[in-house]
Structure 1
């Protein structure tokens, strides 16, 4: 790396660290809100407030947003997949420790490689398959850190990781022709519409304190997407990819200080296995 390139890499790393923190803050806010609000209402407000960063990002483009798309059914499908990811994550984190669900969610990259190989026909080396299997072992170890009565919620957490991977693969396909803001806009609209199907008397108008938490959750989720984009403008993917796993640290800290949760030994061991295999996977040349 040249001397001139070093500062840019540092800026990219700083942006990526901030983006991961925002994701962890969104997850912690959502877990707090699941105590008193139905998951459909939480997903609704997440989508509502996530529009604010999109509006800012579009304003920076200094051009109007063209909402028409020839592949709009794929946009709607992605919106449904993201909605499924959010709902299953919120459902599992309502009953499981935040660090445990976060560790399970780090199976995302392994599901993404699997889906890319099966759906996009991308070549996957034998070594990469070995690392993927190692990552799954880590997930199984982390799951072993919860009680058998929580087996349903662990299964839902794994399903959330799979849905995320499917959405990511579809995003990669859409990004060939569609702008990032357009993809995000369709996704938010889809989430808004789908969440309204859960509208019921159990939905309650939040007070100012909880309203601020809803705003924090939605803004953190929407802003993280924009900050991720900024990070990749300055740093290479291989440089920032390992930072993805710092979300475990934030999840453990939020879990401890907000919910008095202490990660089990199995959760910590499983998370370490996932981190090692994930970093090795990111460093491999295709």
Structure 2
């Protein structure tokens, strides 16, 4: 019989695996318009979440007194999702995953202004280390700068706002409601792009596109369940396994070989987020699930 911590570890591992598969499928779907992929992510992402709605709430699940906060969460999440989808299609997989680990850095900075949290010297040092890592990966400059590198950072900013908003919403709102509003939003946003031109998928591609939604929705549920069952300090570091998957898939499927600067920068970003994570444990603050939420 598995303990709660062991089950939590298992759910975190499943979350990392399913998010990695979703990233793989998104990169594979580059022949289809972004809006079409958004629709499939949202519509089929509803399937796993639907089974969490209490039977007594099926007819009135949408009722809430915090509609403005839900709307803000959905818009920021939509911005983040569009940015990460385009980035996954245009940049090496390992680069996108590495830069996405910068989300805790933005959360730390924004929490000062939005949550009135006090940030000590260790977390400021972590933010500095993390941004140095981002600069090493992106290698900015006036000549030859690839502005696509800003997309994972836009994702991080969007996710920072999403995570902080979920912190506030989760005091009164169930996780399934927060998730459903988001999946409905991206489904509608995706449908709105039909006039821009969609491509009719064949049966095989239809299954792959549908799996983007199923894996994305399932991964978020696995993540939430992991944090419910186990100590966060035991399971959260496992999310960095996604970088190993990204390097593996990138190399064997797209022949992407991570550069030395990517590996060095990724190490600094991971180190920075781990420092922030440990300091939040030290201060006994609630740790948000900053891995994804897409």
TM above 0.5, one fold? yes
In 2, distance between residues paired with 1:212 and 1:145?
Answer: 39
Whether 2:96 is the aligned partner of 1:101: answer yes
Structure 1 residue 217: Cα displacement: 1.0
Distance 2:259 2:199 in 1: 35
2:56 corresponds to:
63
| Counterpart Cα distance in 1 of 2:141 and 2:192 | 32
Following superposition, the deviation at residue 128 of structure 1 comes to 1.0
Equivalent in the alignment of 2:19? 23
The CA distance in 1 between the partners of 2:226 and 2:143, in whole Å, is 40
Aligned residue number for residue 287 of structure 2 = none
Alignment deviations for residues 166-200 of structure 1 (CA, whole Å, 9 cap, x no partner): 11111111111111111111111111222223223
Partners of 1:145 and 1:266 within 8 A in 2: no
Q: 1:63 to 1:149 in 2, by over 3 A?
A: farther
TM-score (norm 1): 0.92
CA distance in 2, matches of 1:266, 1:146: 15
* Counterpart pick for 1:132 among 127, 131, 135: 127
Distance 1:28 1:53, change over 3 A: same
Determine the structure 1 residue equivalent to 2:6: 10
Q: Is the 8 A contact 2:38 2:189 kept in 1?
A: no
In structure 1, C-alpha distance between the alignment counterparts of 2:196 and 2:250, rounded to whole Å: 30
Offset at 1:63? 3.3
Q: CA deviation at 1:107?
A: 0.4
Tell me what 1:46 maps to: 41
Measure the CA separation in 1 of the matches of 2:149 and 2:141: 8
Query: Equivalents in 2 of 1:145, 1:216: separation in Å?
Result: 35
Q: 1:220 aligned to 2:215?
A: yes
Match of 1:186 among 177, 181, 203: 181
Q: CA, structure 1 residues 191+98, in 2 after alignment: closer, same or farther (shift >3 Å)?
A: same
Partner of 1:151: 146
Q: Secondary structure at the match of 2:176?
A: helix
Q: Deviations over 1:111-163 (max 9, x none)?
A: 11111111111111111111111111111112239996462100122111111
Q: Where does residue 165 of structure 2 map in the other structure?
A: 170
Give the direction of change, closer, same or farther, for the CA distance of 1:178–1:239 in structure 2 (3 Å limit): same
Is contact 1:26–1:220 with CA below 8 Å preserved after alignment?
yes
RMSD of the TM alignment (CA)?
A: 2.0
CA distance in 2, matches of 1:165, 1:94: 22
SS of residue matched to 1:206: coil
1:280 Cα shift? 2.2
Distance in 2, matches of 1:144 and 1:56, equals 45
Q: Report 1:67-82 matches (<5 A).
A: 67-82=62-77
Specify the alignment match of 2:108 in structure 1.
Answer: 113
> Which 5+ residue runs of structure 2 have no aligned equivalent?
284-294
